[in-house]
Structure 1
C-alpha cells in the first residue's frame, strides 16, 4: 500500500489518467477510490489538485469518445455486446435507452454515477446521432462533476482516509485478501440475481428464426411485435416484415387489441431476448393463447436472411430478361 501511495505521489497525473482511462473503456479498475485517496493526499499538500482534475477529466472524455465513435459506427451491435457482458443485461439496454431519451446530453452526467450503464451511455449517444460538439461539452462537464465529487470526498475525509491507508499498509496481505473476498461476494450476488431473473422468465417458449421464416414461406406468417423502446428503434431502425411496434411498457395495455387468431411472435435485440420473453409472459397472463419469443431476435433474423441470399442461385439471363 505504501508503494502505491509513493507511486501516486511520483506520477500523479499519469497514474490517475491511465487508471481512469482504462475504467472508462471498461476495465475493472478502481478509478473512483483512487481519486478519493488522491483527494486525501491533495488535502495534505502532497499532490496537485489541478493536475488530478486535468488528468481525470481528460481520461473521461477520451475513454467515452472511443465508445461514442463505436456507437456512431456500429450502433446496436456495440450496445448489444456491452450489455451481453454486463452482469445485469436484462436492464442494461432499457435503462440506457430511457436515460438518453429523457435527459439527452445531461444523461451523460447521470450515467457517471449509475453502475451497469455507465459505459453504455456514450455509445448509445453515438448510435442516436448526438453531435460531436454537444457530446464533448456534456461529457467534459460530466467528467468534471464526477472528478470533483470523488476528489471532494477525499478532501473532506482526508484524516480518516490517512488512517485507513495506514491500517491497510499495516495489514498487508490480510487487507488485500479481505478486499478480494468482498469483490467476489459482490460479483457472486450480481450473478445470482442474473440467474434468478432468468429462472423467473422461464417457461416462455421460443421460436427459431428458421421456423418463423418457414411459416412466412407457407403463407402462415405470424404477427411480429417489436417490443423495443422508441429510442431503441431510433438507434436500430430495422423491422421484421409487417411488425407492430409496441414498446414493452405499453404492451400489456395493448393486449386486448392484438389478434387472437394468429401466432404472436415478440422480438427485440437485447441479450437472451429478455424483453421479448418479458412481453410474452405479460400477454400470456392476459389470456392470449399463442405467444412466442423470437430466439436470437433481430440479429438472428438478419443472419438468416444473409445466409439465404448467399445460398440463392445467381440470376440467369432469362430471369433478368
Structure 2
C-alpha cells in the first residue's frame, strides 16, 4: 500500500492531526499533507472543501490556545518558545518587527513565513490584541494558507502523484535518504545555534545596578533599545536601533565617544548582543544590559513612555 492509498483512507484525520500538531509547535510540517489533500481532491468530489474546513478549524484551535497562553503568561511563553527554537537569536525580534510593520496583517501572512506561524498567536496575546479581532484575522490567515496549499496540490496533482509513486517504488531507500537529509539539516542548524550561543555568552554584560551607577555618575552612556516593538515603556533616554535596517546612516547624529549599552526583551539577550557586536564593528564602545528591560524593571529602576 503506497502513500496515496493510505491517504485515501485516512486523509481527513491526517490533515487534522498534521495541522494541529504543527500549529501547536511540533517540528512536523503540515503543508505537504495539505498538498496531498489537493491531490486527493482531484479524485474525490467534495474532498477539497472538507479538507479545507478541517485544516482551518485545526489551525484555529491551536492558534487560539497559544493566543490564550500569550494573554495569560505574556512574554514568558514567548521566551520559552524561543529557548527551544533553532534560531533563538532572532526569534522574538523578527516577530515583533513584523507586527510593527504590518499590524494585524501579520496574522494573515504568518503561516507562510517560517518561524512566524508559531510565535504570532502568543505575541498577539502578549501585546493585548482583542480576542474577537485576533480570531477574525487569524481565521482569515488560516483559511488563506489552507486554501492555497490545497489548491496548489489540486493544480499539480498529476506531478505530485507521479512523484509519490516513484518514491513508493524506491521503498526504504527513499525513506532513508529523506531521513539522512533531515538529520543533516537539523544537525547543522543545532551546531550553528551552539556556536551563536557560545559567542553570546562570552560578550561583556552589565547588571542593571551597574548601568544605573554609570548614569548617576554622569558618564557618557547611551542606552540602545533594539526591541522590534519600541512602543511600550523604555529606559529613560534610550534610543532605538532597528536591527532589521542596519546601515551606514543608522548612527547618524549619535555621539562617537559614548559608551553604548544595548538591551532587548529576548532570551539570552540575543538581539542586544547582536546590536553590540555591530556597534563594535563600527568602532563604538558597546556592552549589553544583562536581562534586558525586564531585569531593569525588576530592579525597581525607572521606565518611561517613548516620545511621540
The equivalent of 2:106 in structure 1 is 107
Does the 8 A contact of 2:200 with 2:268 survive in 1?
no
- Taking structure 1 as reference, are residues 109 and 176 closer, same or farther at Cα in structure 2, changes over 3 Å only? same
The runs of 5 or more residues in structure 1 that have no matched partner are 306-321
- Taking structure 1 as reference, are residues 168 and 47 closer, same or farther at Cα in structure 2, changes over 3 Å only? farther
The normalised TM-score by structure 2 is 0.81
Q: Distance in 2 between matches of 1:217 and 1:277?
A: 21
Q: Distance in 2 between matches of 1:15 and 1:172?
A: 21
- Taking structure 1 as reference, are residues 255 and 205 closer, same or farther at Cα in structure 2, changes over 3 Å only? farther
- Taking structure 1 as reference, are residues 226 and 69 closer, same or farther at Cα in structure 2, changes over 3 Å only? farther
The equivalent of 1:227 in structure 2 is 225
Q: CA offsets per residue over residues 26-55 of structure 1, 9 Å max, x none?
A: 112231111111211111227711210110
Once the two structures are TM-superposed, the CA of residue 67 in structure 1 deviates from its matched residue by 1.3
Q: Distance in 2 between matches of 1:257 and 1:193?
A: 33
Does the 8 A contact of 1:248 with 1:275 survive in 2?
no
Of 266, 275, 278, which residue of structure 2 is paired with 1:279? 275
The equivalent of 1:179 in structure 2 is 178
Larger radius of gyration: 1
List aligned pairs for 1:185-264, cutoff 5 A. Answer: 185-195=184-194, 197=196, 204-209=203-208, 211-212=210-211, 215=213, 223=221, 225-229=223-227, 232-234=229-231, 237=232, 239-240=234-235, 242=236, 244-249=238-243, 253-254=250-251, 256-258=253-255, 260=257, 263-264=259-260
Does the 8 A contact of 2:241 with 2:250 survive in 1?
no
Of 291, 294, 298, which residue of structure 1 is paired with 2:293? 298
List aligned pairs for 1:82-97, cutoff 5 A. Answer: 82-97=81-96
The equivalent of 1:147 in structure 2 is 146
Q: CA offsets per residue over residues 146-205 of structure 1, 9 Å max, x none?
A: 112221222122122222222333333222211111111222333344456557768742
List aligned pairs for 1:301-320, cutoff 5 A. Answer: 301=296
Does the 8 A contact of 1:255 with 1:283 survive in 2?
no
Does the 8 A contact of 1:224 with 1:267 survive in 2?
no
Once the two structures are TM-superposed, the CA of residue 126 in structure 1 deviates from its matched residue by 1.8
Does the 8 A contact of 2:78 with 2:119 survive in 1?
yes
2:266 is aligned with 1:267: no
Q: Distance in 2 between matches of 1:186 and 1:122?
A: 27
Q: CA offsets per residue over residues 67-114 of structure 1, 9 Å max, x none?
A: 111222222222222222221222222221121122222111221111
- Taking structure 1 as reference, are residues 35 and 253 closer, same or farther at Cα in structure 2, changes over 3 Å only? closer
Q: Distance in 1 between matches of 2:108 and 2:94?
A: 14
SS of equivalent to 1:44: coil
In the alignment of these two chains, the number of paired residues is: 298
Q: CA offsets per residue over residues 223-258 of structure 1, 9 Å max, x none?
A: 4624233x5344xx4545x45142344897447544
For the aligned residues, what is the CA RMSD? 3.3
Specify which structure has the higher proportion of helix: 1
The normalised TM-score by structure 1 is 0.79
